[in-house]
Structure formats: C-alpha cells, structure tokens
Structure 1
Amino acid sequence: MSYCLLLLLPVSALTGWLLHMAAGNYFLNRYLPRQDEQLAAKAGQWAGELVGQSFNIEQKVSDPALIEKAMPAIEQHIDDFLNVKLKEEIPMLAMFIGNKTTDKVKEVFINQLKILFPQVMLQIAGNLKTSLNPEQIVIRQLKQQPISSLVKKQAAAPLRRYRNAGLLFGLAIGLVNLVIFYLVC
C-alpha cells in the first residue's frame, strides 16, 4: 500500500469541511436574505392571527363587568358636573334645580351611558384594531431588521458545529475509502 493513499484522509476531511462551509455560507448569505420578504409576510400573518384570536378586544371592552367597574367613577364625575360645575357655569340654573332634579338627571345620564358605553367601546376597539394592525407592524419591523441578519447573529456557534461535523464526515468517508482501497489492492 502506498503512503500517498494516507493523504486521502486529510483531503477527504478538508473536502467535507469545505463543502459544509460553502453550504452554510450559501444558506446564510444568499438563500436566507432572498427569503426575508416572504418570511416577514408569514410572520406578520401569524402575528395578526395570533392577536386576533387571543386578545379579542371587542369582546373584552364590551364586557358588562368592565362597565360596572367604571360606573362609580362615572357617577362621581356626573355628580361633580351636576352639583358643582353646572352651578358655577350657569348660576341662574342653580336656583331652579334642586337635589331631586339633579338625582333624576343623574339617573337618566347613567342609564343612557350604560346603553351607549358598550357601543362606543366596540367602535373604539374596532378603530384601534385597524389602526394597530399587528400584521403590518411585524412586517415593518422585520423589513427594518431582516430575519437573515437576526439568524446570522444566532447561527455562528451552530455553523461552527456544522463545519466540524463536515470535517468528521469527510474523515469518515476518507477512512472508508482507505479501507476499500486496502481491501481491493
């Protein structure tokens, strides 16, 4: 057996390492950057579906329990308006309006607010949902910082292991070739 055949081992190992390095670099520097727009669109679509399914803003803001929690503060503001501010702004009106009248006006306001509040909140939630489109936000952010640049930062150590695996596979293939040459010759 010729000693030149022993060069088969380092050549095979180097070939395996080079092929894995070329494949890894091609993936990170050529293939992945070409996929940035498609990946951003998919991520945006996923984020939009996730937000739409999990948050369900319309249902939460129109919940009667939420309205009941807000009512004490609303009643306090109505009281302040009817008993203090209205009398300050229109002093002549204060002479004609008593506590019974202000209590009745307050009751009417509160009943109307209980009817109006869920509708207004649904409208606000709908406007909020369209103005805060999570799909577009994710796409915009991923166009500013593409996925390929994020992956490159995270892929340094795995890429090193991938190249080393190529070196080991090349060495194993070289050993198999060496055994075959030894058995045949």
Structure 2
Amino acid sequence: MSYWLLLLLPLSAGTGWLIHLAAANYFLNRYLPRQDEKLAKAAGRWAGAAMSQGFNIEEKISDPRLIEKAMPAIEKHIDEFLNIKLKEEIPMLAMFVGNKTTDKIREVFINQLKLLFPQVMLQITEGVKNELDPEQLVVKHLTQNPVSLLARDAAAAPLKRYRNAGLLYGLLIGLVNLIFLFFFFIR
C-alpha cells in the first residue's frame, strides 16, 4: 500500500470542513440578508394576527369589574370636588347647596360615570388601536434591526459545531474511501 493514500484522510476532512464553512458563510452573508424584508413582513403579519386574536382590549376595558375597581378613587375625587373645590371656586353656590344636595349630585355623577366610562374607554382604545398597528411596528423594528444580523450573532457557536461536523463527515468519507481503495484496488 502506498503511504500517499493516507493523505486522503486529512484532504477529505479539510474538504468537508471547507464545504461546511462555505455553506454557512453563504447562508449568513448572502442568502439570509436577501430574505430580511420578506421575514420582516411575515413577522409583522404574524404579530398583527396574534394581537387581533389574543388581545381583545375592548372587552377588557368595558368589563364592569374594572369600573368597580376604579369607583373608590372616582368617588374620592367627586367628594373632594363637591365639598372643597366647588366651594372655593364658587362661594355663592356654597350658600345654597347643603349636604343633601351634594349627596344627590354625587349620586347622579357616579351613576352617569358608570354609564359613560365604558363608552369613553372604548373610544380611547379604538383610537389607540388605529394609531398602534403592531404589524407596522414589527416591520419597522425588523427593518431597522435586520433578522440576518440577529441570526449572525446568535449563530456563532452553532456554526462552529457545524464546521466541526463537516470536518468529522469529511474524515469519515475519507476513511470509507481509503477502505474502499484498499479492499478493491490495492489488494
């Protein structure tokens, strides 16, 4: 057997490593950057669909329990307005308004707020939803920070293992070739 045939092992290993290196570099530096816009739009569509399906803000805002949780703070502000601020701002009115009248005004305010609060909150959320388009936000963010750059940073360690696997595959192919040559041609 000729000893120069043993060069087949390191040559095959080096070839496997180079092929894997070239494939990884092509994927990260050529193929993936060309896909950035398409990936950003797909991610934007996904985010828009996820937000519209899973995040029903109108239902959550108009929930009566939310209004009940807010009522103690609202009642406190109404009491402060009727008992302190109103008398400071319009002293003449304070002479004609007693406790029974302020209690009745307070009751009317609270009932009106309970009716008005869900409608106002729905209008606010509609405005926010129209201004806040998750699909466009994701596309804009991924256009500014391309997926290819994120993937390149995240793929450093796995690509080293990928190149080493190429080295191992090349070595195994060289070994199979060497055994094939030995048994069929050299004997």
Determine if the TM-score, normalized by the shorter chain, exceeds 0.5.
yes
What RMSD, in angstroms, separates the aligned Cα atoms of the two structures? 1.5
Match of 2:74 in 1: 74
The yes-or-no answer on 1:83 pairing with 2:83 is yes
Q: What's the TM-score, normalizing by structure 2?
A: 0.92
Mapping for residues 91-170 of structure 1, pairs under 5 Å: 91-170=91-170
Return the alpha-carbon distance in structure 2 between the equivalents of residues 75 and 162 of structure 1. Answer: 66
Partner of 1:26: 26
Counterpart in 1 of 2:182?
182
Question: In structure 1, how many angstroms separate the alpha carbons of the residues matched to 2:165 and 2:64?
Answer: 61
- Please tell me the residue identity of whatever aligns with 1:17: W
Tell me the matched-pair count: 185
Structure 1 residue 21 displacement after superposition: 0.5
Question: In the alignment, residue 27 of structure 1 is paired with which amino acid?
Answer: F
For 1:76 and 1:139, how far apart are their aligned partners in 2? 44
Matched to 1:42, the amino acid is A
Percent of pairs with identical residues: 71
Determine the C-alpha separation between the residues in 1 that align with 2:168 and 2:95.
97
Deviation of the 1:150 alpha carbon: 1.0
Structure 1, gaps ≥5 residues long: none
C-alpha deviation, 1:24, in angstroms: 0.4
Unaligned runs of 5+ residues in structure 2 are none
- How far apart are residue 97 of structure 1 and its match? 1.7
